[in-house]
Amino acid sequence: MKVPVINMSGDTVGEIELNPAVFEAPVNVPLMHQALTRQLANARQGNAKTKNRSEVRGSTRKMWKQKGTGRARQGSRKAPHWKGGGNVFGPRPRKYTQKMPLQMRHAALRSALSVKAADNSIVVLDQLTMDKPSAKTMASVLTNAKTGRKTLVLLPERDENVELSIRNLDNATYLRALVPALPTVVIPNGVSADAGPPATGGPCRPWLVFVGNYAHAPNVAGAVALVTEVLPRVRAEVPEARCH
């Protein structure tokens, strides 16, 4: 599968071959759902907490005597059925962390990339550089790339001007690649994998954009493989790479 390479103005400057092992892999929807559920669960803080009857403020004195008043027996003002009383079975601080084997995470990522490639939702930029932060300029670049309404930009290294520009956009976000000096990736997010093409009043299609210097990898697929595949070959070629 070949994908055109464009510049920041949206003009085609070449094309690049995508590795079918990464971008034409079998799509496993349940595995993708499991990976997404894990990411959302791991992002939860889990610090929600309510006070039970032993933690709320109040007297422990019996409100009235047990018999002879004609009223229902009561033992404490902190009982759950009283206003200001304790909460029953409320949330307590806990961990929502889920674990997922590395090979399953890689397979889910390959499935997601294959869905993007099949939907023609991959855009490759030759470079993404800015002299100063400018959300207007970044919005123009994404518009020229025709990435749709939601975009995720993957940067090969820290670029403060680009990061600040993207951060000011409500329809785009960014991530940094773990391996230094690799192409930048942009993936529009917030949309289901089976969404249709962008249309007025309709769903928007997710996009994937690579940006960067290809001298460090033979092609985009090689760059993705360095990031997604933890193999002895990767550590031998890039000793300083931090793969997770």
Of 77-91, 105-119, 166-180, 223-237, give the lowest mean pLDDT range: 223-237
Domain with 59, as residue range(s), is: 46-95
Question: What local confidence, expressed as pLDDT, does residue 35 receive?
Answer: 95
Checking phi first, is residue 82 left (phi over 0); if not, alpha (psi -120 to 50) or beta? beta
Question: What local confidence, expressed as pLDDT, does residue 74 receive?
Answer: 93
| Positive or negative torsion for Cα 18, 22, 26, 29 | negative
Are residues 165 and 105 both part of a single domain? Answer: yes
Predicted confidence (pLDDT) per residue in 139-151, tens digit: 888 888 888 788 8
Is 242 domain-assigned?
A: no
Residue whose structure tokens are 């493989």: 225
Domain boundary among the residues 29, 61, 95 is at 95
pLDDT at 193 over 80: no
Asked if residue 227 lies in contact with residue 205, where contact means CB atoms within 8 angstroms, the answer is no
Between 186 and 100, where is the model more confident? 100
Taking residues 216-227, report their average pLDDT.
44
| CATH (domain of 147) | 3.40.1370.10
Residue whose structure tokens are 């002299």: 131
**In 100-211, which ranges are E strands?**
122-125, 151-155, 172-176, 184-186, 208-211
Average pLDDT of the residues of the chain = 77
Are residues 56 and 168 both part of a single domain? Answer: no
| Positive or negative torsion for Cα 48, 52, 54, 55 | positive
Asked if residue 78 lies in contact with residue 134, where contact means CB atoms within 8 angstroms, the answer is no
Are residues 168 and 233 both part of a single domain? Answer: yes
Confidence band of 5 (pLDDT split at 50, 70, 90) = confident
CA–CA distance, 121 with 210 (Å, rounded to integer): 11
Asked if residue 105 lies in contact with residue 35, where contact means CB atoms within 8 angstroms, the answer is yes
pTM over 0.95: no
Confidence band of 212 (pLDDT split at 50, 70, 90) = very low
Are residues 87 and 196 both part of a single domain? Answer: no
pLDDT at 196 over 60: no
Say which residues have a Cβ less than 8 Å from residue 60's Cβ, sequence separation at least 6.
Answer: 76, 78
Domain boundary among the residues 95, 130, 160 is at 95
Confidence band of 236 (pLDDT split at 50, 70, 90) = low
Are residues 112 and 233 both part of a single domain? Answer: yes
Is 243 domain-assigned?
A: no
Is 244 domain-assigned?
A: no
Beta 172-176 vs 151-155: how paired, if at all?
Answer: parallel
- Please give the tally of structural domains in the chain: 2
pLDDT > 70 fraction of the chain, expressed in percent and rounded: 72
Are residues 215 and 127 both part of a single domain? Answer: yes
Question: What local confidence, expressed as pLDDT, does residue 28 receive?
Answer: 94
| Positive or negative torsion for Cα 238, 157, 130, 187 | positive
Residue whose structure tokens are 């929807």: 29
Are residues 179 and 230 both part of a single domain? Answer: yes
Are residues 106 and 14 both part of a single domain? Answer: yes
pLDDT at 101 over 90: yes
